[in-house]
Structure 1
Amino acid sequence: MGKGGSSSSSLNESVVKKILLSYAYVSIWIFLSFTVIVYNKYILDKKMYNWPFPISLTMIHMIFCSSLAFLLVRVFKFVEPVAMTRELYISSVLPIGALYSLSLWFSNSAYIYLSVSFIQMLKALMPVAVYSIGVAFKKEGFKSNVMVNMLSISFGVAIAAYGEARFDSWGVILQLGAVAFEATRLVLIQILLGSKGINFNPITSLYYVSPCCLAFLFLPWVLVEFPILKETSSFHFDWAIFGTNSVCAFALNLAVFLLVGKTSALTMNVAGVVKDWLLIAFSWQVIKDTVTPINLFGYGIAFLGVTYYNYLKYQALMAKEVQKKAQPADEETGKLLEERDGVASAKKVDSEA
């Protein structure tokens, strides 16, 4: 009885420890994601820090992440680099890096024109974009019930947009573009890297992708922002602001890997919904952005759609787990049947002899 009780107690402790760690990973990711979004808004918004240069801000992040990733991979040997050929880099990493640079550029630009709360509402369209692009690239199968759900999310976001007090067409275009580029990047990661069996951790991902993003951002920066910055003689680089902002951006990449690696991508999706509601509340109460009842009603519809989407993903994940568990049992049964047939055949041969 004592041993059984001790075993049960240790098992319960192990389960509780895993649950607490999962909550810790979720909390860290929500905090860092929350911090980066609000920090970027603070820097870019004309009513706050008033430095409306989203390409420059993104390039600062990429320079910091590239440099730190290089030190961790090549100098301190903290992680091993991925076996990367020139052909693989050109065919896979370059398009992913280009899409990532556009996604970051457009999403950061949207903070100049839109409120934090409305941007989070528009981000609810991410499952719609990922599913639609997945179907277009034949990575996802078309299902009528999923498409109806996608339409309900879109309908909810449209209502939220209709009720937006600070609606800006250009800001909406930028944010929708960011969603489209990010969704395409996620699908291409599965197609280009997943099919080749390449798995990046956050450090190797930044090591290979950040310099690529920096290169793609250089031309638009020279054409769009550099002439303005050159004429702004009063500007001085604030190491405290941009340094801490870059550290937060790098830490967020590590937190994403920690959360997905130790839990699952589904957990991150669910945590993302919680983070969005927190950001909307923060934007409303602290930043004093206007959030209308129509905003909340529309986002509520989209929220239900996203929740149902996550539920479908959960069901698919559970079905896959059941299939994995059933497969070894089927193989074992097959082996036993083969052994039984072999024994029966041997006995038959002996009797005929």
Structure 2
Amino acid sequence: MRDPIPLRTIWIVISWYSSNIGVLLLNKYLLSSYGFKYPVFLTMCHMLACSLFSYAVIAWFKVVPMQSIGSRKQFVKITGLSLVFSFSVVLGNVSLRYLPVSFNQAIGATTPFFTAIFAYLMSKKRETWITYVTLIPVVAGVIIASGAEPSFNLFGFVMCVSATAARAFKSVLQSILLSSEEEKLNSMNLLMYMAPIAVAILLPATLLMEGNVLEITVALAREDINIVYYLLFNSCLAYLVNLTNFLVTKHTSALTLQVLGNAKGAVAVVVSILIFKNPVSLIGMLGYSLTVLGVVLYSESKQRIKQDSFTELICKLET
């Protein structure tokens, strides 16, 4: 018999799902339904919360050992990652103003496609032909969903695709820049260093692009104090997404994480449709399902390659 799943692991997964879907839906509500049209400022609030909570969790609660930046070169690399990371989050928030969450998630599921492209362009890393074949339904599904999306918006679509590509670029860039053992940082320490740098990047961007946001926020708070609670809760959720993602990775296997991640997108789509009641078409849902199927096949092919490589290594050691 298999050992029962620990209750702590179940609660971590539930928290991961809740925080991911919660911050996504609250972002959509603030930027679209509520009318708080300041995605750069919202992203800066997220990064500020991540800065404060990251330090507290590592320095005070000792969730992970604190790692230090070893050189100016490593700091420059982290700064570059922070710039790309901030760019991707801002674009993602901008897209939520114009696209329903369901369609946003469908486009976001194409991350493996962009990851494969950037991995080849930046490090000449080639995947197996089977892995590339699995990316066909990933892209085809989004094309089908785009053509059948009742709430399609070209600007929002471009922003969402750009955000997805930027996330993939950041992932590949991170694996290249911080590849040496002395420069590797776990995700919690990396966030602790990236977040304040992101705030420093986003502050002038906010002043330049959304110069009157503080005055408007104060004016809104006088009329409706809930905006303050929304922003505080939203920012806390943004950090909880990163914390629970790390804990899920720590307490489950890589394969379990992939399966849970694929299912999370589908759950977010269903929940968003139930809450915001955005119109969806049958063809659009079929397109999204095709994309999810492609992502599942992609994850399976990558996992199988890792297992084959591990088996081959064991055989070599035994001989």
TM-score of the aligned structures, taking structure 1 as reference length = 0.81
- State how far apart, in whole Å, the 2-side matches of 1:274 and 1:28 are: 14
1:6-155 paired onto structure 2 within 5 Å: 12=1, 15-18=2-5, 23-45=10-32, 47=33, 49-74=34-59, 79-138=64-123, 140-155=125-140
1:218-229 paired onto structure 2 within 5 Å: 218-227=203-212, 229=214
- State how far apart, in whole Å, the 2-side matches of 1:320 and 1:145 are: 16
Q: Structure 2: which amino acid aligns with 1:134?
A: A
Establish whether residue 175 from structure 1 lines up as the match of residue 160 from structure 2.
Answer: yes
1:130 CA drift (Å): 0.7
- Asked if the contact 1:26–1:268 (Cα under 8 Å) also holds between the matched residues in 2, the reply is no
- Asked if the contact 2:12–2:244 (Cα under 8 Å) also holds between the matched residues in 1, the reply is yes
Relative to structure 2, which stretch is displaced further, 141-150 or 125-134? 141-150
CA shift digits 1:243-280 (9 cap, x unpaired): 22222111111111111122244433321221121122
Quickly say closer, same or farther: Cα 1:194–1:264, change in 2 above 3 A: farther
CA shift digits 1:225-251 (9 cap, x unpaired): 123544676233744222222221111
Q: Structure 1: which amino acid aligns with 2:258?
A: N
- State how far apart, in whole Å, the 2-side matches of 1:19 and 1:318 are: 26
Q: Structure 1: which amino acid aligns with 2:303?
A: Y
1:139 CA drift (Å): 5.5
- State how far apart, in whole Å, the 1-side matches of 2:62 and 2:245 are: 21
Establish whether residue 284 from structure 1 lines up as the match of residue 273 from structure 2.
Answer: yes
Quickly say closer, same or farther: Cα 1:264–1:197, change in 2 above 3 A: farther
CA shift digits 1:151-170 (9 cap, x unpaired): 33111101100001011111
1:154-303 paired onto structure 2 within 5 Å: 154-227=139-212, 229-230=214-215, 234-236=219-221, 238-303=227-292
Q: Percent identity, please.
A: 27
Q: How many residues align?
A: 315
Secondary structure of the residue aligned to 1:194 is: coil
Quickly say closer, same or farther: Cα 1:228–1:262, change in 2 above 3 A: closer
1:108 CA drift (Å): 1.0
Q: Structure 1: which amino acid aligns with 2:301?
A: L
Quickly say closer, same or farther: Cα 1:266–1:88, change in 2 above 3 A: farther
Secondary structure of the residue aligned to 1:130 is: helix
Relative to structure 2, which stretch is displaced further, 244-253 or 225-234? 225-234
Quickly say closer, same or farther: Cα 1:19–1:197, change in 2 above 3 A: farther
CA RMSD of aligned residues (A): 2.4
Relative to structure 2, which stretch is displaced further, 90-99 or 67-76? 67-76
Quickly say closer, same or farther: Cα 1:37–1:329, change in 2 above 3 A: same
Q: Structure 2: which amino acid aligns with 1:225?
A: E
Higher relative contact order (CA 8 A, sep 6+): 2
- State how far apart, in whole Å, the 1-side matches of 2:9 and 2:108 are: 24
- State how far apart, in whole Å, the 2-side matches of 1:266 and 1:110 are: 30
- State how far apart, in whole Å, the 1-side matches of 2:12 and 2:56 are: 25
- State how far apart, in whole Å, the 2-side matches of 1:246 and 1:41 are: 14
Relative to structure 2, which stretch is displaced further, 157-166 or 207-216? 207-216
Look at both structures and tell me which one has the larger radius of gyration over its CA atoms: 1
1:51 CA drift (Å): 0.9
Quickly say closer, same or farther: Cα 1:61–1:327, change in 2 above 3 A: same
Gaps of 5+ in 1: 1-11, 331-353
Gaps of 5+ in 2: none
Secondary structure of the residue aligned to 1:241 is: helix
1:197 CA drift (Å): 4.7
